[in-house]
């Protein structure tokens, strides 16, 4: 399927937010917003739901804690108990450092893995050409022209009215 996108580049994040708000009000499909730093209020302006990534972190950390405690108990009290100075085999205070470290490890790895899977990121993935300028100081608003409700000149005028200093048209295949 062919697609036709407009990319508006903004110097100021407040102008970007106003352009996003107007596009959402008029029903213009927003493909993406690219920014070199987090813009406060952009998630609300785009209508993005809160992330479920903290739940993945919680479950990963709980799995690490459970596995750490279980393995230490199993290895010291069940599989190979050694009596050292009359100390108990299932001494949970001694298990705390390893269990804590496994909690942090599993939470971090599960969060990173879920983020990469959800964002479709992998080593060697190609980035969209033409957005290199957004890494320093500029923001990009990418709009898609899907139907005849908005003419090309109306989209360009809307972006110019809200402070876009450069507008590019991109054509290509959607995949």
pLDDT score for 57: 97
Mean pLDDT of 18-33: 89
Dihedral class, residue 120 (left if φ above 0, else alpha if ψ from -120 to 50, else beta):
left
CA atoms within 13 A on the CB side of 175: 4
- pLDDT tens, 48-99? 888 899 999 999 999 999 999 999 999 988 888 877 777 777 788 889 999 9
For residues 30 and 140, the answer to whether their CB atoms sit within 8 Å is no
* % pLDDT > 70, the chain: 92
Fold adopted by 2-39+139-173: Alpha-Beta Plaits (3.30.70)
pTM of model > 0.75:
no
What are the boundaries of each domain within the chain? 2-39+139-173, 53-118
Determine the Cα–Cα distance for residues 93 and 133; give it in Å rounded to an integer.
53
- Per the prediction, the chain carries an average pLDDT of 86
Sign of the CA dihedral with 38 first, then 40, 46, and 51 last? positive
pLDDT score for 1: 47
Which residue do the tokens 């085999």 mark?
A: 89
**CA 133 to each of CA 29, 35, 110, 137, 138: distance values in angstroms, whole numbers, following the listed order:** 23, 10, 32, 7, 6
């Amino acid at each position: 399927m062919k697609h036709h996108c407009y990319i508006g580049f903004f110097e100021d994040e407040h102008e970007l937010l106003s352009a996003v708000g107007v596009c959402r009000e008029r029903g213009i499909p927003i493909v993406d917003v690219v920014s070199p730093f987090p813009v406060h209020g952009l998630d609300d302006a785009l209508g993005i739901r809160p992330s479920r990534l903290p739940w993945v972190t919680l479950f990963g950390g709980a799995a690490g804690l459970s596995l750490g405690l279980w393995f230490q108990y199993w290895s010291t009290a069940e599989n190979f108990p050694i009596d050292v100075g009359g100390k108990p085999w299932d001494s949970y205070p001694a298990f705390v450092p390893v269990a804590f470290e496994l909690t942090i490890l599993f939470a971090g790895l599960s969060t990173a893995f879920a983020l990469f899977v959800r964002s479709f990121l992998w080593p060697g993935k190609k980035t969209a050409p033409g957005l290199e300028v957004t890494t320093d100081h500029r923001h990009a608003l990418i709009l898609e022209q899907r139907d005849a409700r908005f003419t090309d000149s109306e989209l360009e005028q809307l972006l110019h009215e809200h402070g876009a200093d450069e507008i590019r048209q991109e054509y290509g295949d959607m995949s």
